[in-house]
């Protein structure tokens, strides 16, 4: 594997911004993580294809990173290439039939805001959820009762080495924090079918939902959002809270006093601190309730 050769081959040859040893703590909402050997912000489809080709030739592992809102990065970092979808993948366009097409690199909060400006209802439940559009679609983000997937009319993805492919929304299986989109494909853009509605009503619903998030979630502290998936109809947060684990801490990582399914960075937390808290929470819940909590957060750069 030669990250240096990949860096040299890509420098000046593609429409991309390349960085060596970029600290991923600057690129994640957790504010945790060591450096990526190579960080590439690709600004066009052709530069993405070329970048993947060079990385494959040089044997360099790669991963797509959106806004880093559901990721825990190792303290040692990632020895491959982290790819961020840039300019061409951040566009948002509206059609007259109530649909909006957004690039996978677009900010989800910006998309939600623009649907309000255009008087389109259907994404109110996404207000306050951080992340990129591509990340939200791939994991079918949302609440316990409403998900992005049912709003998807179609999406375009890149199959590395195989070109682009288009999926109709109904042909994709959608589930709680899951979709049937192949894990090795890169979502490029998505078209969502929304419903025209009065802006005042949309704004009121968004404010109601945002107020609830502010009241129940630690939005002022760095975190990755919910750490564990809700097991069935139960609430992971309530199970954790019932075990008296609010406030449990290792190093700078702490189970939030506000929402037990959030592990927050109180300052200077390491990935190892978060993992230690996660492990303790998992074991205590299993012992007290017989429930095997499954992580929702994705881990990057860990060995073994």
Catalytic residues: 177, 226, 296
Cα gap 275→150, rounded to integer Å: 33
Cα gap 195→99, rounded to integer Å: 8
Cα gap 121→115, rounded to integer Å: 7
Cα gap 35→254, rounded to integer Å: 23
Select from 130, 162, 167, 131 the least CA-distant residue to 152.
167
CB of 8 within 8 A of CB of 20?
no
- If DSSP codes are grouped into helix, strand and coil, which group holds residue 278? helix
Select from 173, 45, 63, 62 the least CA-distant residue to 103.
45
Which spans in the chain are helix H?
Answer: 3-10, 45-58, 108-117, 133-138, 199-216, 236-242, 271-289
> Dihedral, CA atoms, 155, 159, 162, 164, nearest 10 degrees?
20
What is each CA distance from 301 to 6, 83, 132, 268, 289, in whole angstroms?
19, 14, 21, 19, 31
């Amino acid at each position: 594997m030669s990250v240096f050769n990949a860096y040299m081959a890509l420098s000046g040859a593609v429409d991309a911004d390349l960085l060596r040893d970029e600290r991923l703590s600057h690129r994640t909402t957790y504010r945790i993580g060591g450096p990526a050997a190579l960080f590439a912000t690709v600004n066009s489809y052709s530069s993405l294809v070329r970048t993947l080709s060079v990385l494959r030739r040089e044997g360099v592992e790669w991963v797509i990173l959106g806004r880093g809102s559901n990721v825990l990065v190792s303290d040692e970092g990632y020895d491959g290439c982290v790819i961020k979808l840039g300019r061409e993948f951040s566009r948002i366009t509206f059609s007259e039939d109530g649909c909006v097409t957004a690039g996978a690199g677009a900010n989800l909060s910006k998309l939600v805001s623009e649907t309000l400006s255009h008087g389109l209802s259907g994404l109110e439940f996404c207000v306050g959820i951080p992340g990129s559009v591509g990340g939200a679609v791939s994991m079918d983000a949302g609440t316990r009762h409403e998900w992005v997937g049912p709003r998807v009319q179609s999406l375009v993805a890149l199959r590395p080495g195989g070109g682009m492919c288009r999926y109709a929304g109904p042909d994709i299986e959608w589930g709680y924090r899951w979709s049937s989109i192949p894990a090795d494909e890169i979502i490029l853009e998505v078209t969502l079918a929304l419903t025209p509605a009065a802006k005042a009503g949309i704004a009121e619903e968004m404010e109601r939902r945002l107020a609830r998030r502010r009241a129940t979630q630690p939005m002022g502290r760095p975190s990755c959002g919910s750490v564990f998936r809700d097991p069935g109809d139960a609430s992971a947060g309530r199970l954790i809270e019932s075990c008296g684990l609010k406030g449990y801490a290792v190093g700078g990582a702490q189970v939030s006093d506000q929402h037990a399914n959030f592990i927050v960075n109180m300052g200077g937390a390491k990935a190892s601190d978060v993992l230690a808290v996660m492990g303790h929470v998992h074991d205590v819940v299993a012992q007290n309730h017989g429930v095997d909590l499954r992580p929702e957060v994705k881990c990057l750069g860990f060995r073994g």
